Amino acid sequence: MFRTALRPVSMFAVLLLLAPSMTGCMTTQRIPFANDANGLKQISGVTTRSGREVRFRLPGASIVNDTMYAVGSGGEVSLPTDSIAQVWNRKTSPVRTVGAVVGVLAIGLAVAGAIAFGNDFNLGKAP
């Protein structure tokens, strides 16, 4: 009986640990591009001056000789820095993270309450 009681608790603990890493906890901040190498390790894409959006498969980029290099969906992407209007920084949103954790907690408590409520009625029945 003790082993079966721990299984839902362990699954709930795993959900709580994974909640902050869910994509719903992330937000993309678009900021104007400054031609410097600071902060390029975290960018997840760019918007060009013509309006084209280029997403990176791996976060991060580097600038060499006025050209930005990154890894896109089709391989290496190289863009001249004078054609970049915005860079995208993908960060964990504290508000979304708290909301996700509270939501998972509420669902877990509702499930635990339903299980406990259902077991109360089953205790009085004959086997």
User: In 3-state terms, what secondary structure has residue 51?
Assistant: coil
Q: Is residue 8 part of a domain?
A: no
Q: Is residue 95 part of a domain?
A: yes
Q: Is residue 6 part of a domain?
A: no
Q: Is residue 98 part of a domain?
A: yes
Taking alpha carbons only, the member of 44, 117, 27 closest to residue 86 is 44
Of 87 and 5, the structure prediction assigns the larger pLDDT to 87
Q: Is residue 127 part of a domain?
A: no
Q: Is residue 17 part of a domain?
A: yes
Tokens of 61: 């980029």
How much is the pLDDT for 50? 92
Domain count, the chain: 1
The phi, psi pair for 57, rounded to 5°, reads -75, -40
Q: Is residue 77 part of a domain?
A: yes
Report the alpha-carbon distance of residue 26 to residue 10 in Å, rounded: 25
Report the alpha-carbon distance of residue 107 to residue 111 in Å, rounded: 6
Average pLDDT over residues 87-111: 80
Q: Is residue 4 part of a domain?
A: no
Side-chain-side CA neighbours of residue 10 (13 Å): 6
> What pLDDT, in 10s, does the model give residues 1-50?
445 555 666 777 776 666 655 556 777 778 888 776 666 777 888 999 99
56: containing domain: 13-120
